[in-house]
Amino acid sequence: MDGTIGLFGTEGGGYNSAFDRIARKEEGVELMARTDLRPWAAVALSAAALVYVGCTSSSPTESKPSVPSSGKAGGPPARGKQPVPAGEETGFLASLGKPAAVLVVTGEMNGYTEPCGCTEGQIGGLLRRFDFFEWLGKKGWPSVRVDLGGLTKSPASARGGFEQAKLKFDYSIKALKLLKYDAIALAAEDMKVGVGEALALYLNSLGERTKLVAANIEPPSGFESIFQKSRIVEAGPVKVGITAIVDPDALEKLSDPDKDLLVAGLKRPGDVLPRVLAELEPKSDYQVLMVQGPPRMARTLAESYPGFDVVVSTSEYVDVLTHDPEMINGGRTLFLQVGQKGKYLGAIGLYPGESERIRPAIVTLNTQFDGPAAPMRQLIRDDYREALRQMGVVADYVRHDYVGGVPGATFVGAETCKSCHPNTFMKWSTTKHARAFESLLHDKKPNVIYDAECITCHTTGFEYTSGYRSPETTAYLQGNQCENCHGPGSKHIAEPDRAEYRTAMALTPEKADRGQLCQHCHDGDNSPKFEFGGYYPQIAHKGLDKYDDPKVHRGLNPSAK
Amino acid sequence: MKTWIVLIAVVLAGAGVAFFHEVLWPNVPEPEMVFPSKPAGPPPKLEMVEAKSYQFGTIPVGGKRTHAWSFRNIGEGPLDIWLEDTTCSCTVASLKAAKGQEKTITIAPGQSSPLEVSWEGRHAGRFHQAATIGTNDPDNPSVVLTLIGTVLDPLEIRPSDSVSFPDGTPDQSRSASVRILSNDRPDVKLLRVSTSKPGLIVAEAKPMSPEELANEKGKSGYDLSIEVRPGMPPGRFLEEVSIETDHPTRPALKIHLSGNTVGPITLTPARVVMPSVPRATGASVSLSVVVRGEQPVRFEIASKPEILKVEITPETGPDASGRFRMTVTVPPGLPVGAIDRPILLKTNHPRLPEIRVPVSIYVSNRS
C-alpha cells in the first residue's frame, strides 16, 4: 500500500491539490483494507497509477519552456487558490491579449549574463531571456527585439579583470545574435573595453540580422556593415522604425586613443533626430528611440520629439520602479525603463489600427523562465568558460604588489600559519572559508575555477603578485585563508617576535567591521544578507592559541611552503 | 482463467478511475500556475490610503529604516494578505515565516492592519527595494510596496574608486585625480597614502578649499592627484592606492587604478580565441591592427598554423591611415581538435620587429 501511495505522492508532489488527491486515495485504502479484495485493489491501483503517470507526466529533460505566469515567486496558502485549467494563461501573456507583434526591450545587462551573484533566488540572466523568447515563439507572435546597450561594465572596475570583461562582452554580443536581436544601441560604457576592441568584437560577432544603432554617429570606416543610424524592421504585419542616441558627453569623456573613430562624426541629438524621425514616420507603423544617456536626457528627447511611440531610457535603479510603464505626451509616448543587470525586460504588445496602439508589460525574469535553454547554456556556460580556461584569465590576471602591510611580504598559506597557530587553524578549517575552493569544484557550471570573477573570492591573495595563480603552482592558497584578512605573512613567520610585523598583521573584529573588509566578497550581489554581527561569530578565533612554546618564537623559512 | 478475468477487470476499473481522476482534477503542469480564485462568500476589498512608494531620503551605511503601510479591509469578506516576493534584502517581519513556508494575515471586514517593510542600507549608493504582497481581493491580487533612497558613504571617493588612465607609451607620464569627501565629519585626516608601485605611481593629497567643499556639499575633503610616471612596462596594469584615515567608521580606503601601456603597434583583439568552430562550416575572425606614429609599416606573416588562412590588408577610407585588418580563417572540413600555435608577424618597425599573436581555436563537431 505504501508503494501505491508513494507513486501518487511523488508524481504530483508539492502542491495542495496533489495532497488532496493523496487524501482521497488514503480514504479509499482504508475502505479497501476491510475487504477481501485488498491484494486485487493493490494491483488495480498500481496499474491505474502507472496508466495515470504514463498519461500525464513529462520527462524532466523534455525540451519545452517553463510556464510563465504572473512573474512572481511564492504564493498564498491553500485558501483562495485553485489550479489553473490546462492551457489557461496568466501574467504577461494574458495581459497582452492578441497583439499583431511584440516589441521586446532589454538593456543595461552590465555584465550579468547569469543572475547576479552566486546566491540562490536571484533574478535575471540570459538563460531565462532565451526561455522568454521560446515562449514568444510558441505563441507565434512576431517580434522586434532591441537592446539599449550597456552589455558590460567597465573593465577597470570588473571583478574578473580586463581580459574577462572583454571576453564576457564578446559573448554578450554573441548571445544577442543567438537571440535574433534587431538592434543594439551603441553605449559609451561598452566602449570602455577599448573603442577599437569593441568595434572589432561587434564586427566579428554580430551577424547579419543584428545591427549597432546610433543616429548621432557617422559609421566609422571599415565598420559600415554593422552600423546604422536607424532601421526599419518588419514583424508580421507591423513595421517598426528603430533609432538610438548616444550621449555625446559620455563619448567625449572616454580615455581611449581610438575614440576619434566615433567622436569624429559625433553630432548633438537635436541635430539628427528631426531628420531621422521624418524618415521613419512614413515608412513604419511605430517609431522607437533608445537613449544611451542619463534618464533626464531621454525624457527631454521624448518630450521634444513626441513622434516617437516608445522612448527607452537608462534606469536610475537596478530594479524597475514600477510595473506600470509611464505614458507621456498625453498618452502618445511610452517612456520605458527596464532596470539594470538584465533582471527584467519590456514586452510591448503592438496593435496597429486599434485605439490602444501599444500595451506594455514589464516581465521579471525569475524562476518561471527556468527552461532548458540549451543553445544559450552551451554559449554562456560551456563555450564562455572554456574560452576563459583557454585564455588563462585566472593565471594571467594582471596582479600588483600588496599595499598597506609589511613592505615586501608575500603570501605563505594557512598550512604555514598552522605551525604556530594550530587551534586557530583548526577553527578555520571547520568554516566555509576553508572549503571555498572546494565549493567551486562542485559547482554545476563547468570550468568555474578558471573564472576570475569566482576565483577572486574563493582563493587567497588573488589580485596580488604573490597570491593565488593556479592549482598547479599555488595550491597552498586555495580557499579563503588567514592572509586574506590579515595580509601576507612571510615577514611575520620569519621573525615572529618583531613587533612591527605583528602589528601589521593584527586585526580586530571592530577594525574589520569598520573597514568593511568582508564586503569585498560579501557584497550586495553575492551575500545580500551579510551582516557583520551575525556572520562574524561563525569564524571568531580570538585567543585560541598560547605561545608559551619556545619554538613558535624561532621563526620559519618563508620559502618552505 | 477466472483469476485473469478478475485481474483484467480490476486493471480496467483502475484505469477508468484514473481517467475520471484526470477529468475531475485536471493535470496541473507547474506549481506556479496557481492564482487566487473568486471567493465563495462576500468579497474582501483592500483600501490603501497612502502611496505605495516611500522615499527614505538619505541614510548612512548600516542605517536601518522601517515604514509601515496600513492595509484596510473595506469589503465584506475576510481579507488575506501574504508575501509573494521581495527583492534581495528587504524584510516584511509580520509575514516572515520559516524557510519554505508561507504566512498569511487575515484582516476582518472593517479592520486595518499595519504592514512594516524594513531595509538596512549596507552598501553605499541609491537603492530601490520592493516587496510584493499578494491578496485575495479580486480587484487587487498583488500590491508592490517600494522603498527608495540613497545610502550615503561617510567617506566617499568621487567620481569613483576606480580610476582608468588613458593608454600611453612607456615614456609618457599620465595623471588623474579624485576627491575624497567626508559626508559627516569636518576634520577627517588622511594618515597615510601609499601605492602598489611606489617609484612609478605617486599619489599626493591636498585639502579642498571651503568653496570646493561647499560645491561638493561635503564636511571635509581632499583632492588626490595620482601620477603614473614614465617607465611603466608595456601591457595592461591594475594597481592600487591605499589610504589610511582617522575616520572612525572608514579607517581604510582603496582606489583601483587601471590602464594600458602600449607599444607602437597594437592588435585588437590581442589574440585569436575561437572556442568552438563547427567543422562543417569553418569560421573567420578579424583583428584590427593600429600603427601609432607617422612611419609607414609593412607586415609579413612569418609563421602560422598551416591549416589557417591569415591575411593582413590596409584599411581603406579617409581616416584609415596606419590601420590594417588581419583576417584569420578556419576553413571548413578540418579535423576536430585544437589549434594553438601562435601566428608570428614580422614588421619593418625599428622598435617592434616581431609581433606574436596567441591562437586558441577548437574545431568541434557542432553544427
Give pLDDT tens digits for A325-382.
799 999 999 999 999 999 999 999 999 999 999 999 999 898 889 999 999 999 999 9
Contacts of B141 in chain A (CB under 8 A): 70
Mutation target to probe the B interface, by most B beta carbons within 10 A, among A38, A53, A79 is: A79
Q: Which CATH number belongs to the domain containing residue B337 in this structure? A: 2.60.40.10
User: What is the distance in angstroms between the Cα of A42 and the nearest Cα belonging to chain B?
Assistant: 10
Q: What is the pLDDT of residue A157?
A: 78
Whether chain B has a CB inside 8 Å of the CB on A223: the answer is no
Whether chain A has a CB inside 8 Å of the CB on B189: the answer is no
Q: What is the pLDDT of residue B273?
A: 83
B298 and B220 within one domain? no
Q: Which residue of B has its CA nearest to A192?
A: B164
Per-residue pLDDT of B45-55, as tens digits, reads 999 988 888 88
B186 and B248 within one domain? yes
Overall pTM > 0.90: no
A16-25, A448-457, B166-175: which has the minimum mean pLDDT? A16-25
Q: Which is nearest to A385 in space by CA: A432, A434, A443, A467?
A: A443
Where does the pLDDT of residue A238 fall: very low under 50, low under 70, confident under 90, or very high at 90 and above? very high
How far apart, in whole angstroms, are the C-alpha atoms of residue B234 and residue B262? 6
Query: Is residue B243 scored above 50 in pLDDT?
Result: yes
Residue B318 lies in a domain: yes
User: What is the distance in angstroms between the Cα of B40 and the nearest Cα belonging to chain A?
Assistant: 9
- Indicate yes or no: CB of B269 within 8 angstroms of CB of A200: yes
B297 and B224 within one domain? no
Domain that holds residue B343: 265-364
Whether chain A has a CB inside 8 Å of the CB on B162: the answer is yes
Predicted interface score ipTM higher than 0.90: no
Across residues A312-326, what is the average pLDDT? 83
Class of domain A101-385: alpha beta
| A435, A480, A498, A519 from A458: Cα distances, Å | 8, 6, 30, 14
B313 and B347 within one domain? yes
Per-residue pLDDT of A51-108, as tens digits, reads 433 333 333 333 334 434 333 333 333 333 333 333 334 456 677 888 999 999 999 9
Contacts of A390 in chain B (CB under 8 A): 273, 275, 360, 362
How far apart, in whole angstroms, are the C-alpha atoms of residue A263 and residue A246? 11
Whether chain B has a CB inside 8 Å of the CB on A161: the answer is yes
Across residues B283-292, what is the average pLDDT? 89
B211 and B161 within one domain? yes
How far apart, in whole angstroms, are the C-alpha atoms of residue A71 and residue A362? 9
Across residues A531-554, what is the average pLDDT? 93
Average pLDDT of chain A is: 83
User: What is the distance in angstroms between the Cα of A384 and the nearest Cα belonging to chain B?
Assistant: 8
Contacts of A317 in chain B (CB under 8 A): 126-128, 148
Q: Which is nearest to B17 in space by CA: A11, A30, A46?
A: A46
Whether chain B has a CB inside 8 Å of the CB on A86: the answer is yes
Query: Is residue A178 scored above 80 in pLDDT?
Result: yes
Residue B36 lies in a domain: no
In contact, A478 and A404? CB cutoff 8 Å: no
Phi, psi of A430 (to 5 degrees): -90, -5
B281 and B233 within one domain? no
How far apart, in whole angstroms, are the C-alpha atoms of residue B352 and residue B77? 83
Residue B59 lies in a domain: yes
- Indicate yes or no: CB of A316 within 8 angstroms of CB of B15: no
How far apart, in whole angstroms, are the C-alpha atoms of residue A27 and residue A43? 17
B350 and B288 within one domain? yes
- Indicate yes or no: CB of A257 within 8 angstroms of CB of B21: no
Residue B16 lies in a domain: no
In contact, B242 and B252? CB cutoff 8 Å: yes
Residue B103 lies in a domain: yes
- The domain boundary, picked from B94, B126, B152, lies at B152
Q: Which residue of B has its CA nearest to A404?
A: B242
User: What is the distance in angstroms between the Cα of B210 and the nearest Cα belonging to chain A?
Assistant: 27
Number of structural domains, chain B?
A: 3
**Per-position b or e across A448-469, b if 16+ CB within 10 A of its CB:** bbbbbbbbbbbbbbbbbebbbb
Where does the pLDDT of residue A561 fall: very low under 50, low under 70, confident under 90, or very high at 90 and above? low
How far apart, in whole angstroms, are the C-alpha atoms of residue A45 and residue A5? 9
In contact, A301 and A273? CB cutoff 8 Å: yes
- The domain boundary, picked from B82, B117, B152, lies at B152
B131 and B56 within one domain? yes
Q: Which residue of A has its CA nearest to B287?
A: A200
Whether chain A has a CB inside 8 Å of the CB on B99: the answer is no
Query: Is residue A213 scored above 80 in pLDDT?
Result: yes
B171 and B100 within one domain? no
Annotated domain spans of chain A: 2-51, 101-385, 394-553
- Indicate yes or no: CB of B82 within 8 angstroms of CB of A72: no
B248 and B168 within one domain? yes
Residue B145 lies in a domain: yes
B351 and B294 within one domain? yes
CA B34 from centroid of its chain's CA atoms? 32
Across residues A36-43, what is the average pLDDT? 46
